[in-house]
Amino acid sequence: MLVKDIMLPAYKIDANSTVAEAAKIMTEHNMGSIFIESHGKIQGIMTERDVVQKIATKGTDSRRIMVYEIMTSPIISVSGDTTLEQASEIMSKNRIRRLAIVDKGDIVGKVTSSLISKNMKYYLSVKLFRREEHPNII
């Protein structure tokens, strides 16, 4: 199974937007992260964890902080043809929970560790079922 088969949409916001504006978009679309864009290029990613650790715990006003001030950078990306196993290894090695999916240099989506985990369970169970059904086929 490939990451392009399970990827989520890549929502973006301008680097000069406030954390509050980004959080509103994230809430409206029920997502835990958003890509940060500047001059047409993705510069980083802001996650719920960034907001909690860098804004909420310090009592900072999210309407006064720009997303570029708290984003995580650089972004680690893979092509859509990357397998779930490979993506999982990359995430583990880099201690991250999200990967950007790129096509021809543009970010077209993202995958999360939880999304990979859920789909790996399904993928492995189907693979196991097929093997039990046809034991002579590898």
Q: For residue 60, what are the CA distances in angstroms to 23, 40, 54, 84, 117? A: 14, 28, 8, 38, 34
Token pair recorded at residue 11: 């929502």
Parts of the chain with a pLDDT under 50: none
What is the reported pLDDT for 134?
57
Omega within 30 of 0 (cis) for the link into 74: yes
Say which CATH superfamily domain 3-133 falls into: CBS-domain (3.10.580.10)
In this predicted structure, what is the pLDDT of residue 58? 86
Give the pLDDT confidence score for residue 56 in this predicted structure.
Answer: 85
What pLDDT is attached to residue 121?
Answer: 76
The pLDDT of residue 131: 59
Q: Starting at the edge strand that comes first in sequence, how are the strands of the sheet with 33-38 ordered? A: 12-14, 33-38, 41-47
- Residue ranges of domains in the chain: 3-133
pLDDT tens per residue, range 66-76: 999 999 999 99
R_g of the chain computed on alpha carbons: 18
